[in-house]
Amino acid sequence: MSEEKFDVIVIGGGPAGLSTAYFLAKKGLETLVIERGPELGAKNVFGGRIYSYFLDKYFDGWRNEAPIERWVRSERVSFLCKEDGVTIEYRKYDDIDGFDSFTAFLSKFVSWLGERVENEGASIIPGVKVEEIIFEDNVAKGVVAEGEKILADYVVVAEGVNTLLSEKYGFRRMHTPEAVAVGIKEVVKLGKNLINERFSVSDDEGVAQFFLGYPLNIVKGGGFLYTMKEYVTIGAVIKIEHARVGDTYMREIVEDLRMHPYIRRLLEGGTLVEYSAHLVSEEGFGGLLDKPYGGGYLIVGDAAGTLLNTGFTIRGVDFAMESGRLAAETIVNAHEKGDTSEEALSYYKKLLDESIVSKALRKFRNTPKFLSNERLYTTYPSMLCDVLRRIYTVDEMPIRAYEALKEATKDRVSLITLLKDLWAARGGI
Ligand SMILES: Cc1cc2nc3c(=O)[nH]c(=O)nc-3n(C[C@H](O)[C@H](O)[C@H](O)COP(=O)(O)OP(=O)(O)OC[C@H]3O[C@@H](n4cnc5c(N)ncnc54)[C@H](O)[C@@H]3O)c2cc1C
């Protein structure tokens, strides 16, 4: 291994790294992907949904090959209180606008992508961690992995949100506690028939659901649920600063979420088969690197800050893959001229700036601030339950909706604060 030289070494075999390798190998560049997990997918954690826009555009035939669990037809948002809750559902009954997102296990999706990468002629070595990037005269020339040097003309850093190498070489500053959250995910085996019955879907139809309110109000986090073919994934994203409240840890909070009367009924009879946790970036546009390139190297995916959370949709995987495609285009251009200079690779920044990835992150640049408003997780879910509880709890004298709203608001939030929050929503989501 020590004698080998590649055109490109990609550090990290997640969606971003594999997408980069795929487009490089397609153009005939000798590409090596080094992944520290024992196999592809072993280290990749996500909630459960991938948007198909870029796959449709750049990956021929993927719909017939990729490990799709279910096509999302039902989008639900639930505001939970201790004993009741409010759920809003948006549902596509017919094939309007086609199918634009699907549920999947990221481990399987990444393995499938890996096969496509290898079919194009790139090599993937799992189970090896890159310890260092080799620089000569400020130009990346290769990496050190397991004590051995492997040389390349270009190095692509696709290490994900855990940016140890990027921080070591000063490509990005260390994440502050406010900039990242912890995502915790459980996988519950429920079986196809129970999922279809309880979520009111047919075999290929899936549900994507978000939760706000109890019990996540304690930690100011949000919850998610996705239906797979036979499994349901459920979890929460919690700011690091709230990871422990008194004696309650994140893990217990996800358990509490699973045991909420609304969710317990959906998952009854299921078996918990897996638990995982991973960091998630919360920075949005503010986390997108100003300079995701340098002499001989490029940075892609979560490591470059490409994850978008609009409050309703999370585009981590597809944006990571798109940044990889743009990095590959940059390298192919530079390689044709035999140029590894910082100037040649700055073309990546230009492509990224002009891309949907950067434009969407910019458009939603105020969202992280809006989503950090604690009242979204505490006051408003409980207020909503309260209003509807008052309206639908019938005794002698019926209540008007306005009275219910007035009662529910009293002592919870002032009119000025309410208006301020509504105003902030204008630029936030
Ligand atoms: C709980 C949770 C829920 C999420 N839900 C969704 C969702 O529903 N939809 C969505 O699109 N996105 C979601 N995301 C975000 C999504 O997972 C990421 O945006 C996406 O995986 C980024 O891809 P990546 O390739 O940049 O990074 P990663 O997937 O993190 O891949 C990085 C890879 O690099 C490897 N690596 C790191 N350092 C080294 C090293 N030194 N040497 C060798 N290998 C290394 C890692 O092992 C890993 O395999 C979620 C994330 C979390 C945590």
pLDDT tens-digit map of 74-106: 999 999 999 999 999 999 887 666 679 999 999
Q: Work out how many domains the chain is built from and give that number.
A: 3
Same domain as 326, residue 202: no
363 occurs within a structural domain: no
**Which carries the bigger pLDDT value, residue 251 or residue 360?**
360
* Pocket residues: Cβ below 6 A from ligand 1: 11-17, 34-37, 43-50, 129-130, 158-161, 165, 183, 185, 235, 237, 278, 280, 301-303, 307, 314-318, 320
Range 2-33 burial, b when 16+ CB lie within 10 A, else e: eeeebbbbbbbbbbbbbbbbbbbbbbebbbbb
The pTM of the full predicted model, rounded to 2 decimals, is 0.95
Residue 29 resides in a domain: yes
Say whether pLDDT at 308 is over 70.
yes
Whole-number pLDDT of residue 427: 78
pLDDT at residue 97, rounded to an integer? 61
Same domain, 218 and 251: yes
Confidence of residue 121 (pLDDT cuts 50, 70, 90): very high
299 and 152 in a common domain? yes
200-257 tens-digit pLDDT: 999 999 999 999 999 998 888 899 999 999 999 999 998 887 766 565 677 788 899 9
Residues 193 and 201: their CA atoms lie apart, in Å, by: 10
Domain assignment present for residue 365? The answer is: no
In this structure, the answer to whether residues 345 and 234 fall within a common structural domain is no
Whole-angstrom distance, CA of residue 117 vs CA of residue 20? 9
Nearest CA to ligand 1 atom 52: 46
Ligand 1 centroid–CA 164 distance in Å is: 14
- Residue 43's pLDDT band (cuts 50, 70, 90): confident
- State in Å: Cα 44 to ligand 1 middle: 5
What is the whole-number distance in angstroms between the Cα of residue 161 and the centre of ligand 1? 7
Pick the atom of ligand 1 nearest to 34's CA: 43
Query: Is 188 found in the same domain as 252?
Result: yes
| Tokens 């230009």 found at | 350
Q: Which of 156, 71, 70, 66 lies closest to 111, judged by CA?
A: 66
> Higher confidence at residue 94 or residue 70?
70
User: Residue 244's pLDDT is what?
Assistant: 65
What's the gap in Å between 301 CA and the centre of ligand 1? 8
Side chain identity at residue 40, one-letter code: L
Under the banding of pLDDT at 50, 70 and 90, the label for residue 1 is very low
Whether residue 207 lies inside any domain: the answer is: yes
Residue 9 has pLDDT above 70, yes or no: yes
The backbone torsions φ and ψ at residue 139, rounded to the nearest 5 degrees and listed phi first, read -120, 130
**pLDDT band for position 415 (cuts 50, 70, 90):** confident
**Radius of gyration, alpha carbons of the chain:** 23
CATH number (domain holding residue 137): 3.50.50.60
User: Angle at CA 358, nearest 5°, toward 355 and 361?
Assistant: 140
Return the percentage of the chain with pLDDT > 70, whole number.
97
Amino acid at 341: S
- The pLDDT > 90 percentage for the chain reads 79
Helices 347-354, 317-336: axis angle to 10 degrees equals 140
CA-208 nearest atom, ligand 1:
8
- Residue 3, pLDDT above cutoff 60: no
Residue 94 pLDDT: 74
Report strand pairing: 139-145 vs 130-136: antiparallel
Q: What pLDDT is attached to residue 178?
A: 80
Nearest to 303 by CA among 32, 78, 49, 20: 20
Residues 203 and 170 in one domain: no
Domain span including residue 190: 180-281
9 or 395, which is more confident: 9
